[in-house]
Amino acid sequence: MCWQCDHPDKTYDDYLDLCRVMIQEHGWMIQFVEGNRRRAPCAYTAGLTAHGLPELVVTGLCTHQAHDLLQGVAESAVGEEPWQSATVVVGAGKLIWEIVAVAVPDAHLSVANDLYGPGVTALQFVHMDARGHSPWHPGYRRGRYPQPVLGPRTTPLRCVELVTDPP
């Protein structure tokens, strides 16, 4: 259930104030958007913009998987090297993610846009199926949830190999 549904006496501005507190305490927060029969679940960060970084998005994963992925990726982006679009991430010898720039962030990241205004940018971590196929591959198996891709696919310019398991 959403925060506003759980707090009917509060306003959206009250929620944004809570978000500001979480971002101030932790550096960023993760916003979840529940899926339904017509829409896949989605999760994104809000707060990385203040670090001069793009926000991060993942679609089609359950809440705990999305949280673990975005938390790990945000920590590495703030603490080490920022992630970039047109990057493929490989681990254990197979493709794990492909990173695409979100074409219209204001259509998908309402909390981040309401906190930081126009100009928010975002990267989507497009996850592969169990066989390492991307959503663009004809053999891709989408699993429990569909995975909408929120930006155009570009030719990968960079490959990152993970030395540890992905978040």
Give pLDDT, residue 26: 94
- Tokens read off for 7: 């707090």
Q: Which residues touch 47 (CB under 8 Å, ≥6 apart)?
A: 22, 23, 26, 27, 28, 29, 55, 112, 115
Q: Which residues touch 9 (CB under 8 Å, ≥6 apart)?
A: none
Give pLDDT, residue 150: 94
31 exposure class (CB count in 10 Å sphere: 0-12, 13-18, 19+): buried
Q: Does 164 have pLDDT greater than 70?
A: no
Give pLDDT, residue 105: 94
Mean pLDDT of 82-94: 77
Q: What is the pLDDT of residues 106-135, one digit of tens each?
A: 999 999 999 999 899 999 999 888 777 888
Question: Which has more pLDDT, 16 or 155?
Answer: 16
Q: What is the pTM assigned to this prediction?
A: 0.88
